[in-house]
Amino acid sequence: MQENFWQLTLVTNKGNTPTAPYLEFIEVCLKAGITCVQLREKSSPGEDLMDFGSSLKRLLDLYNVPLIVNDDIDLCIKLSAFGIHLGQSDTEVTEARSAIGADKIIGLSVSTIEQIQNSVTLPIDYIGVGAIFPTHNKPDVETIWGLSGLRQAYLVSSHPIVAIGGIDESNTFSVINSGADGIAAIGAFHQAADPFLTTKNLIKIISEAKND
C-alpha cells in the first residue's frame, strides 16, 4: 500500500472532544499532508472507540491515508485497518502477525537498544523509538533517547524508525537527520494554533532533511 506511510503520523488524542469537530481537525491535517493516523485512545470505552474508529476510517479512506490501531487486535480487524502498533507489554508480535495476517503492517515500540536488537528477527515493519525528547503526553516514558540515542538506534535497527516524543517544527530536521525515517506526534498537531500550517511545515521540514 502507501509507500513511506510512516513519514508523518498523527496520533489521536480525542479524549472527550465530540467526534464531529475532532474529525474536522483531522481533515484539516489530512488536507495539509499527514501520511498516517494512529488511533490511540486509552480511556475510551470499547463501543465509543469502535464508533469513532469507524468514522475515522471512513474519513481516512477518502484521502487514501492508512489507519494504524494502537494495541487492539480485535479493533484492527473490525475496522479493516492498515495495521497495528504494539508496545513491549502488549500482544506478542508473532501472535499479532498470526491474527491480522501477512499483508497488514505491524509497528513495535522500543525503549532500549536491547529491544531494538531483539526486534531484528521479528515479523514487524517498523519500530517506534521514543521518547526522543521529554513530552507531557507520556510523562512516564522509560527512556529519553535524545538525538545521540536516536543515532545509536539507527545504527542498530534493521527496520525503518518512526520517532516520537516531544517532536515539533523546531526539532524535526534534527530528528530526521539523526536517522528517523518519519515522525509521529500528538502535541505538535493538537496544540497547534494553525494545524494546517503546522502540518505543511512538518512535511516540508521532513522532505528537506531527507534531501540534506
The catalytic residue positions are 40, 109, 138
Q: What is the DSSP letter of 142?
A: S
Q: What would the DSSP string read from start to end of 170-194? A: TTHHHHHHTT-SEEEESHHHHT-SS
CB atoms within 10 A of CB 178: 22
- Look at residue 129 and give its three-state secondary structure: strand
Q: What cell was used for 125?
A: 515493519
The C-alpha angle with vertex 134 and arms to 210 and 38, in degrees rounded to 5, equals 60
